[in-house]
Structure 1
Amino acid sequence: MRVLVVEDDQDLNRQLVDALSGAGYAVDSASDGEEGYFLGDTEPYDLVILDIGLPKMDGISILEQWRRSDRKMPVIILTARDRWSDKVQGIDAGADDYLAKPFHMEELLARARAQMRRASGHASSEIECGSVRLDTKSARVTCDGTQIKLTSHEYRLLAYLMHHNGRVVSRTELVEHLYDQDFDRDSNTIEVFIGRLRKKIPTDVIETVRGLGYRMSCGGGDEA
């Protein structure tokens, strides 16, 4: 799962990136509105954390342009303003949620998890696929009740597939959503991570759809 942080306060930007990275997300960041707008307009994100008061281009204008361009990723706006009219303006511009500064990082992470769950059609913090259960709150994966140890990339891959279970996900989509902008992307590594996951969870849970990609097969079955 990939997140964009657009925040001009360098300390807060770094804190957000560290917290989101620590929670298992691939994170890109921008410190001004123009860069943030460009990244959000050209890269696929599962969530954007967007400050309203930005240099070069303000957050409301960014959000309005994204929505006019049919960019549908969930957006949580950050604002130091307490006026209810600013919050209304953000929601009307297309924001999915907002937080007023200062805020607790745990609250932001909880809101981030909720937005990504809703965007993929899940109401609960726990997502199940056969005997495999993903707890998005604790980033904990279990199989038949036993916790499975995963690397950060294995976790991101499994989490993305489980958030989109039942749908075929291409290698290209996985690469775009698992790695941050600066990572040396190679779609061949997806096969490696899939192979590692199949050694840790039932092999038939992740189905290979030849020529198309992968799909979580929650009812079990043979590999295609």
Structure 2
Amino acid sequence: MRILLAEDEKQLNHVLTVAMTSQGYDVDSTFNGQEAVEMAQQKAYDVMIFDIMMPVKDGLTAVKEIRASGDKTYIVMLTAKSEIDDKVKGLDDGADDYLTKPFSLKELLARLRSKERREDNYNTKKMQLANLFLDVENQEISSRNSVRLSTKETELLQYLLLNKDKFLSTQTIFSHVWKDSEENENIVWIYVSYLREKLKAIGSDVEISGEKDGSYVLQIQKG
């Protein structure tokens, strides 16, 4: 699971990073909200952990910008304030959960494990990008016409849609879509090829760019 941590207290940032890394999580850390927004735009994360009080751009503003871009990643807010208004505002601005400092490291790790166990991954059952519509439940994509998808095709397209315009490495895609499989990473290219043909077949304005063994990005066709 890849985590983005934005915490300006250097010692706490270090402690949290080491603790989460020791549990097998892949952690990217930063010390200000603006850089956190930029990193969220460039990479796919499973969880984002933001302190409220940060330089350059505070955590609440960063969360609002990330949500405005359509990013649905699970977000936990950290705050040294205990007032209920701060917690409510954080949730209203798009956070999914919060922890009040000082908090137990065990509690944070427990919440991350709980997040891993969730099967819905905060995904929606119906998704859209330009003239492409994905019905997750019925495993069908439609545009000028429609076609059915396999389970893995659906999961792959769903993950790409959740991270549209982000370049996702073959390894990242494989670890999310085939995490419990005995397949190897070559399967990613095979299923990307399947999806490309089906996107063309339905006349979609959305395409998957990228080469075998490299990174892929789902985006609206240019021109």
TM-score (norm 1): 0.58
Alpha-carbon deviation of 1:167? Answer: 3.3
AA aligned to 2:155 is R
Kindly indicate whether residue 154 of structure 2 is the aligned counterpart of residue 175 of structure 1: no
Instruction: Give 1:102's aligned residue.
Output: 102
Change (3 A) 1:71 1:27: same
Task: Say if 2:170 and 2:188, in contact at 8 Å, map to a contact too.
Answer: no
Gaps of 5+ in 1: 123-163, 179-189, 214-224
Alpha-carbon deviation of 1:115? Answer: 2.7
Task: Say if 1:60 and 1:90, in contact at 8 Å, map to a contact too.
Answer: yes
Alpha-carbon deviation of 1:39? Answer: 0.7
Kindly indicate whether residue 29 of structure 2 is the aligned counterpart of residue 33 of structure 1: no
Relative contact order, CA 8 A, sep 6+: which one is greater? 1
AA aligned to 1:211 is I
AA aligned to 1:175 is Q
Instruction: Give 2:42's aligned residue.
Output: 42
Alpha-carbon deviation of 1:34? Answer: 1.3
Kindly indicate whether residue 109 of structure 2 is the aligned counterpart of residue 121 of structure 1: no
Query: What CA distance in whole angstroms lies between the structure 2 residues aligned with 1:204 and 1:29?
Result: 31
Change (3 A) 1:205 1:69: closer
Alpha-carbon deviation of 1:208? Answer: 4.1
Runs (4+) off by over 6 Å: 204-207
Alpha-carbon deviation of 1:72? Answer: 0.8
Alpha-carbon deviation of 1:60? Answer: 0.4
Deviation track 1:191-220 (CA, whole Å, cap 9, x = no partner) reads xxx9xx9xxx9957999476127xxxxxxx
1:1-224 pair list within 5 angstroms: 1-118=1-118, 120-121=119-120, 167-168=155-156, 172-176=168-172, 203=182, 208=187, 211-212=190-191
Query: What CA distance in whole angstroms lies between the structure 2 residues aligned with 1:22 and 1:47?
Result: 16
Sequence identity (%)? 35
Query: What CA distance in whole angstroms lies between the structure 1 residues aligned with 2:82 and 2:96?
Result: 18
Query: What CA distance in whole angstroms lies between the structure 2 residues aligned with 1:97 and 1:47?
Result: 11
Task: Say if 1:50 and 1:76, in contact at 8 Å, map to a contact too.
Answer: yes
Aligned residues: 153
SS in 2 for 1:53: coil
TM-score (norm 2): 0.59
Alpha-carbon deviation of 1:175? Answer: 2.7
Change (3 A) 1:203 1:64: closer
Task: Say if 2:171 and 2:185, in contact at 8 Å, map to a contact too.
Answer: no
Change (3 A) 1:83 1:45: same
- Root-mean-square deviation (Å): 3.4
Change (3 A) 1:106 1:72: same
SS in 2 for 1:15: helix
SS in 2 for 1:211: helix
Alpha-carbon deviation of 1:176? Answer: 3.6
Task: Say if 1:67 and 1:94, in contact at 8 Å, map to a contact too.
Answer: yes
Deviation track 1:17-47 (CA, whole Å, cap 9, x = no partner) reads 0011011011100011111111112211010
